[in-house]
């Protein structure tokens, strides 16, 4: 199975980021994980949220930002990878002048039902 980036539609996910599902079981037939690209506009941030079951990996491919992970806040930039354990509150903010682009790997695959918003509810 192969996907082609220009053919993948973007949508806004529950936490407010723009997502392209590069590989997801509901669309592509893989089973145990999903891979998406998230884009956060300069000055914007995702809502603080957590996933009860899903472990996530964020790999920053472009831009700069501030990652909130539990009680910690730290700078991230292109080339950085962050582990987000299940149940850990997190959000990311784009602090530069260009969009923040992140590859998000989720296991089990991303699900709106496993996303609990912790602010703005």
Fold of 9-117: Jelly Rolls (2.60.120)
Maximum Cα–Cα distance for the chain, whole Å?
Answer: 39
Q: Is the pLDDT of residue 120 over 70?
A: no
Average pLDDT of the chain to the nearest whole number: 94
65-85 as b/e, with b when 16 or more CB fall inside 10 Å? bebbbeeeeeebeeebebebe
Q: Where are the domains of the chain?
A: 9-117
Give the single-character DSSP code of 70: T
What would the mean pLDDT of 61-87 be, rounded to a whole number?
Answer: 98
Residue with tokens 């299940």: 86
Confidence of residue 26 (pLDDT cuts 50, 70, 90): confident
Confidence of residue 14 (pLDDT cuts 50, 70, 90): confident
Cis link prior to 91 (omega < 30° from 0)?
no
Is-contact 82 57, C-beta < 8 A?
Answer: yes
What would the mean pLDDT of 18-28 be, rounded to a whole number?
Answer: 91
Kindly state the percentage of the chain with pLDDT values over 70: 98
Q: Is the pLDDT of residue 56 over 70?
A: yes
- C-alpha to C-alpha distance for 32 and 40, rounded to whole angstroms: 26
pLDDT (0 to 100) of residue 89: 98
């Amino acid at each position: 199975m192969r996907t082609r980036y220009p053919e993948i539609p973007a949508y806004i996910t529950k936490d407010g980021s723009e997502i392209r599902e590069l590989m997801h079981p509901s669309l592509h037939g893989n089973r145990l994980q999903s891979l998406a690209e998230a884009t956060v506009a300069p000055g914007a941030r995702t809502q603080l949220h957590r996933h009860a079951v899903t472990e996530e990996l964020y790999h920053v491919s472009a831009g700069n930002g501030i990652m909130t992970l539990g009680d910690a806040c730290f700078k991230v930039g292109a080339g950085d990878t962050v582990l987000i354990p299940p149940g850990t509150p997190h959000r990311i903010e784009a602090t530069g002048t260009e969009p923040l682009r992140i590859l998000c790997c989720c296991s089990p695959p991303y699900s709106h039902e496993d996303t609990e918003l912790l602010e703005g509810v």
